[in-house]
Structure 1
Amino acid sequence: MPTGKVKFYNADKGFGFIGDESGADVFLGAAALPEGVTSLRAGTRLEYSIVQGRKGSQAMHVQVLDAPPSVQRGRTLRDRKPADEMAVVVEDLIRLLDDASNQLRAGRYPDTRHGTTLAKALRAVADQFEAGR
């Protein structure tokens, strides 16, 4: 079976492309993904079979060989902020979430700037809690 790496995959649209070993692009539809896999990151190595569709090569029976390295996986307990500093960060996050909740109750999503700030804060807190896993 051929192998290749995901060039891109858009879970919302349900398709992407694999760059095979020869450099050719292979179409990757959501139906070809293994059970339980709904999204793939660029760089993920795959093994698959190929069928010729009307528009060219198409991957079938995809198996994930390995995902690209994650920046998060390299974090250790030493990378964590001290608990007293994290308490302040969590309190600030609670205030941001409370503001967002009030806006949602008023029938509107937070403005883009507030939404972006909230998303970044959530990711940062999640990174701290996952460090060392």
Structure 2
Amino acid sequence: MPFGKVKWFEASKGFGFLVTDDGQEVYLHASALPAGVTEVRAGTRMEFGVAQGRKGAQALTARVVEEAPSVVRAKRKPADETAAIVEDLIKLLDGVSNGLRKGRYPEKPQGSKIAAVLRAVADDLDA
């Protein structure tokens, strides 16, 4: 069985392409992915069976050999720094909560900054 890497895969469309180690492009349908796997990231190394379909080479079954490294995980802050940020965020949100209890939403610029910080922390935690 040949080896290759995921060139791209669009989970919403249900397909993508692999590139074999010798450079051949192979169509990858979501049904060829292993049980429980619904999407794969570009760069994921896979082993797969190939058959010739109407439009060229197509993967029949695929097995994940090595996950692509997460760029976000590699760039996220150390846990102790994130803990300090989360503590500061709790204090900030406590102030927002007090204002909301009094019927006041934060001003638009402050609300946008708070939302951006929340998204950044959520991305770090989700990586």
41 and 48 in structure 1: CA distance in 2 versus 1, 3 angstrom threshold: same
**1:1-133 equivalent positions in 2, closer than 5 A:** 1-71=1-71, 72=73, 78-81=78-81, 83-92=83-92, 117=116, 119-124=119-124, 126=125
Partner of 1:107: none
93 and 21 in structure 1: CA distance in 2 versus 1, 3 angstrom threshold: farther
Question: 5+ residue gaps in structure 2?
Answer: 101-111
The residue type paired with residue 25 of structure 1 is E
Aligned counterparts of 1:70 and 1:119: Cα–Cα separation in 2: 18
Task: Provide the TM-score with structure 1 as the length reference.
Answer: 0.67
Shift, 1:91, TM fit: 4.9
81 and 57 in structure 1: CA distance in 2 versus 1, 3 angstrom threshold: same
65 and 82 in structure 1: CA distance in 2 versus 1, 3 angstrom threshold: closer
Structure with greater Cα Rg: 2
Aligned counterparts of 1:49 and 1:121: Cα–Cα separation in 2: 41
Task: Provide the TM-score with structure 2 as the length reference.
Answer: 0.69
Shift, 1:79, TM fit: 4.7
Question: 5+ residue gaps in structure 1?
Answer: 100-112
% identical equivalent positions: 40
86 and 2 in structure 1: CA distance in 2 versus 1, 3 angstrom threshold: same
User: What is the count of residue pairs matched by the alignment?
Assistant: 109
- 2:86/2:121 contact within 8 Å kept: no
Aligned counterparts of 1:15 and 1:82: Cα–Cα separation in 2: 36
- 1:7/1:18 contact within 8 Å kept: yes
Q: CA RMSD in A?
A: 3.1
83 and 69 in structure 1: CA distance in 2 versus 1, 3 angstrom threshold: closer
Aligned counterparts of 1:32 and 1:74: Cα–Cα separation in 2: 32
The residue type paired with residue 46 of structure 1 is M
Shift, 1:82, TM fit: 6.4
